[in-house]
Amino acid sequence: MKKIILCLSLLLGLAGINAQEMNLHDFVVTDINGEKFELSSLKGKKVLVVNTASKCGLTPQYETLEEVYKNYGGDDFVIIGFPANNFGKQEPGTDEGIKGFCQKNYGVSFPMMSKISVKGEDKHELYQWLTQKSKNGVEDAEVKWNFQKFMIDENGNYVGHVAPQKSPDCDTIIDWIKG
């Protein structure tokens, strides 16, 4: 019996190690211009990953995201937006249309990626990692709505998430950026 418990403990320990070995830097995505974007290029930066939408009640968060990016972005911090049409079809546009909307209405200068799925059977592999404790090693955090925010540390490790309704300049996010 002791051998079985020891073996199970060892296996569970190894599963935990594997979940934490994968990080943000292991992913390659496509940016809003259709170019490959290696997330490993963000090594050394804290990253705020946000699923966005242009026709949502929370869309004005683009303005606050841009303010946070202007105040803190640079060598140590970056925001990455991922347009998604998973909630109420609130992001129906093309990448080109989304890019134009973001620049014209909110002056978005932080990196925007190509539209992806953040939930369901076609959920992008990055969002599988972000939302599953078995993959990120920290917590389950299913995307509840547009503008859910995920915090990733300088080493590409998952830190936590902030609910969609919370402002991008809430204390949780700003304290994390400054910390």
In this prediction, residue 20 carries a pLDDT of 58
Q: Which CATH superfamily includes the segment(s) 2-178?
A: Glutaredoxin (3.40.30.10)
Cα–Cα–Cα angle for 96, 102, 104, rounded to 5 degrees: 95
Instruction: Dig out the tokens for 125 from the structure.
Output: 């592999």
- What is the C-alpha separation between 17 and 118, in angstroms, rounded? 25
Instruction: Dig out the tokens for 171 from the structure.
Output: 């204390």
pLDDT in tens, the chain (179 residues): 555 544 444 454 544 444 457 899 999 999 999 999 999 999 999 999 999 999 999 999 999 999 999 999 999 999 999 999 999 999 999 999 999 999 999 999 999 999 999 999 999 999 999 999 999 999 999 999 999 999 999 999 999 999 999 999 999 999 999 99
In this prediction, residue 21 carries a pLDDT of 73
- Phi, psi dihedral angles at 8 (to 5 degrees): -65, -40
- What is the C-alpha separation between 158 and 153, in angstroms, rounded? 7
Domain boundaries, the chain: 2-178
Using alpha carbons, select from 84, 92, 71 the residue that is nearest to residue 29: 84
Q: Which helix (H) or strand (E) holds 80?
A: strand 77-83
pTM of this prediction exceeds 0.85? yes
In this prediction, residue 18 carries a pLDDT of 45
DSSP result, 119-158: SSTT--HHHHHHH-HHHHSS------STT-EEEE-TTS-E
- What is the C-alpha separation between 137 and 155, in angstroms, rounded? 14
- Phi, psi dihedral angles at 49 (to 5 degrees): -100, 130
Residues classed as catalytic: 56
Q: What is the DSSP letter of 170?
A: S
